Structure 1
């Protein structure tokens, strides 16, 4: 499970990618908007890249971030029953639910990175609607 700040950085990149897959905010902007230091950003972004959720390409004008539409994961327990253990598969990001991330909250300096992550969590349940009803236990577990 990813730490909350890694989830926040992922949501930030998704917000700036909008309906597409690519975004190119500068590192200093991300750090400033999320109110985190560069070391924290580097640690969590490296994990997101390493685990295949985001790819990062250096260009002449800065970093180009691509939100990966499928991520590498290991086969589930159902696959191990058939004798296929340690099988690496690619799972669609949308397979477990997917929604756009509103960009509105990301540059708001009155909100902490944690508050932004929780906002995105609720927005992912609300979808295009205005309400969300996740259980408190689920919120605590999934945003820890």
Structure 2
């Protein structure tokens, strides 16, 4: 799955960049990941950096990146949606960095965040992912608060 239709050949450059940051500059992969999560850079860069960090440097896509006002754990997918980071959102979706299905709490929380921010790019990614999983209709019904009949 490639939600952003990015060229896989571009990954190598980001892989080398991450390798340099870790080996030469001794930066912790989790610290790099948090910076990518907060980044305002191009979606392609954020996407590849997140993918490389998770797949090659074993950063957990489910790690706790903070807590919300109610004391609930915030994971990278929710944080990416809150920060309107399209690249990291796409990477986290492709890495299945949420619990349950597209109709369950983790995923629906992301959809509500995107909806509240009127973020069409993030909402579009969530819909595209649900469609790829052949679950667009249940996703939309859950988002609207309807029950399946």
Question: TM class by shorter-chain length?
Answer: under 0.3
Higher-helix-fraction structure: 2
Structure ranking higher in strand proportion: 1
Instruction: Look at both structures and tell me which one has the larger radius of gyration over its CA atoms.
Output: 1
Higher relative contact order (CA 8 A, sep 6+): 1
Structure 1 length as normaliser, TM-score?
A: 0.25
Q: TM-score, normalised by structure 2?
A: 0.25
